[in-house]
């Protein structure tokens, strides 16, 4: 039995607790939150203990999920790593690169697992899409992560809340260094940006254009990859994958005149409808048990944060 705990049981954290309560060979030792009423409610629902201070979980857990506001990531993750606990921290890894570097260095020194919660890596559609995407053949990637406003995130704008998901996925697909980043942001009513667009240029020659919004009435989570021989569409929200290839367009003449005809071959692979969060936490527990590197380690989390911060810096200019 791997003993686990969850620090922070807001909208996302309570789902971490729920998944752990369902996994075999895992014992949810407890949850911690500053909001005692919320913490006790979640603890009762998933038949575990409540702690008002996360430090009281030290010595009781082998692994911890840190699902607190981003500004607290560094302190909470540091405390657990220093006490020999493996950590999964929600994205972004930290607020700044210096803090990220310190956590990566500490995890290495303590020989602890440090995984960053970029959940789209575990989306079944994305996992399947990797069979059809070849880093060297990518011409362009378009990412759209849009939807209406909500109360879920209050301490960050759309770049660190939404766009960073796609930044991480794109970095993992291109296998190339980033050559340039340009960002544009718009704040509509709050303290942080509500709409952002960005362009990433890679040394391989590939381009990526990204849009993130929490002011759009339609909700969409899409990734479209143009390659030299195919066009791959990933629908994260509905977990659907399409591969377009052998496209052909021509003008045909018949007795009614000349018409333009377009055709392509579309493949829609069967996608297992597994919950991404469950796959992510299962993978984390596997890493804890087998002492192997996580799919999204601290370095990957830092790279995504670095690009996201460049988008914000470019927008400010």
For residue 251, the model assigns a pLDDT of 74
Q: Residue 281 has which token pair? A: 């936490």
Q: Please, are residues 122 and 280 in contact by the beta-carbon 8 Å criterion?
A: yes
Residue 98 to residue 123: CA distance in whole angstroms: 30
Same fold, 2-118+277-294 and 121-274+305-316: no
Inter-CA distances, 153 with 19, 65, 88, 150, 290, Å: 21, 18, 19, 8, 34
User: Does residue 216 surpass a pLDDT of 80?
Assistant: yes
Query: Higher confidence at residue 174 or residue 259?
Result: 174
What average pLDDT does the segment 200-219 reach?
A: 96
HSE-CB of 270 using CA atoms within 13 angstroms? 1
pLDDT level of residue 152 (50, 70, 90 thresholds): low
Mean pLDDT of 157-166: 97
The pLDDT of residue 153: 63
Q: What is the pLDDT of residue 190?
A: 77
| Tokens of residue 81, six digits | 């790593």
The tens digit of pLDDT for each residue in 296-306 reads 999 999 999 99
Average pLDDT over residues 277-288: 98
Sheet containing strand 240-254, edge to edge, reads 178-186, 195-202, 207-213, 138-146, 220-227, 231-235, 240-254, 257-267
- Residues 60-117 have pLDDT tens digits of 999 999 999 999 999 999 999 999 999 999 999 999 999 999 999 999 999 999 999 9
Output the pLDDT for position 183.
Answer: 98
Percent of the chain predicted with pLDDT > 90: 86
Q: Tell me, what's the pLDDT at 263?
A: 72
Q: For the chain, what are the domain ranges? A: 2-118+277-294, 121-274+305-316
Confidence of residue 253 (pLDDT cuts 50, 70, 90): confident
Mean pLDDT of the chain: 95
Q: pLDDT above 70 covers what percent of the chain?
A: 98
Q: What is the pTM of this model?
A: 0.93
CATH 3.40.50.720 for domain 2-118+277-294: yes
Q: How far apart are CA 73 and CA 40, in angstroms?
A: 22
Q: How far is CA 82 from CA 91, 104, 114, in A?
A: 20, 12, 12
Report the DSSP beta bridge partners of residue 249. Answer: 262
Residue 259 has pLDDT above 90, yes or no: no
Give the whole-angstrom CA distance, residue 215 versus residue 217: 7
Output the pLDDT for position 154.
67
Instruction: Tell me the two tokens of residue 263.
Output: 């055709």
Domain 121-274+305-316: CATH superfamily, name plus number: Dihydrodipicolinate Reductase; domain 2 (3.30.360.10)
Cβ within 8 Å of residue 159, ≥6 positions away: 183, 185, 193, 196, 198, 212, 308, 311, 312
């Amino acid at each position: 039995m791997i003993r686990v705990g969850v620090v922070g049981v807001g909208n996302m954290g309570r789902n971490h607790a729920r998944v752990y309560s369902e996994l075999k060979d895992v014992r949810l030792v407890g949850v911690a939150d500053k909001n005692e009423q919320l913490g006790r409610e979640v603890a009762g629902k998933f038949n575990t203990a409540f702690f008002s201070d996360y430090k009281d979980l030290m010595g009781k857990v082998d692994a911890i999920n840190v699902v607190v506001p981003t500004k607290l990531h560094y302190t909470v993750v540091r405390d657990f790593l220093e006490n020999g606990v493996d950590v999964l921290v929600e994205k972004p890894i930290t607020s700044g690169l210096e803090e990220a570097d310190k956590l990566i260095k500490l995890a290495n020194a303590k020989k602890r697992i440090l995984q960053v919660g970029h959940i789209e890596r575990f989306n079944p559609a994305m996992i399947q899409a990797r069979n059809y995407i070849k880093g060297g053949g990518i011409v362009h990637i378009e990412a759209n992560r849009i939807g209406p406003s909500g109360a879920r995130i209050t301490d960050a704008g759309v770049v660190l809340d939404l766009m960073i998901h796609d930044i991480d996925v794109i970095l993992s697909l291109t296998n190339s260094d980033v050559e340039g980043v340009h960002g544009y942001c718009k704040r509509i009513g709050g303290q942080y940006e509500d709409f952002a667009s960005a362009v990433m240029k890679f040394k391989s020659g590939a381009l990526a254009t990204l849009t993130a919004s929490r002011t759009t009435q339609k909700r969409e989570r899409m990734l479209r990859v143009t390659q030299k021989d195919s066009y791959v569409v990933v629908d994260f929200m509905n977990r659907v994958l399409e591969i377009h290839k052998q496209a052909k367009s021509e003008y045909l003449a018949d007795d009614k005149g000349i018409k333009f005809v377009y055709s392509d071959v579309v493949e829609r692979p069967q996608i297992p409808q597994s919950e991404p969060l469950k796959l992510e936490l299962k993978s984390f527990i596997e890493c804890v048990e087998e002492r192997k590197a996580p799919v999204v380690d601290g370095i990957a989390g830092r790279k995504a944060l670095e690009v996201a911060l460049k988008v914000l810096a470019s927008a400010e200019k």
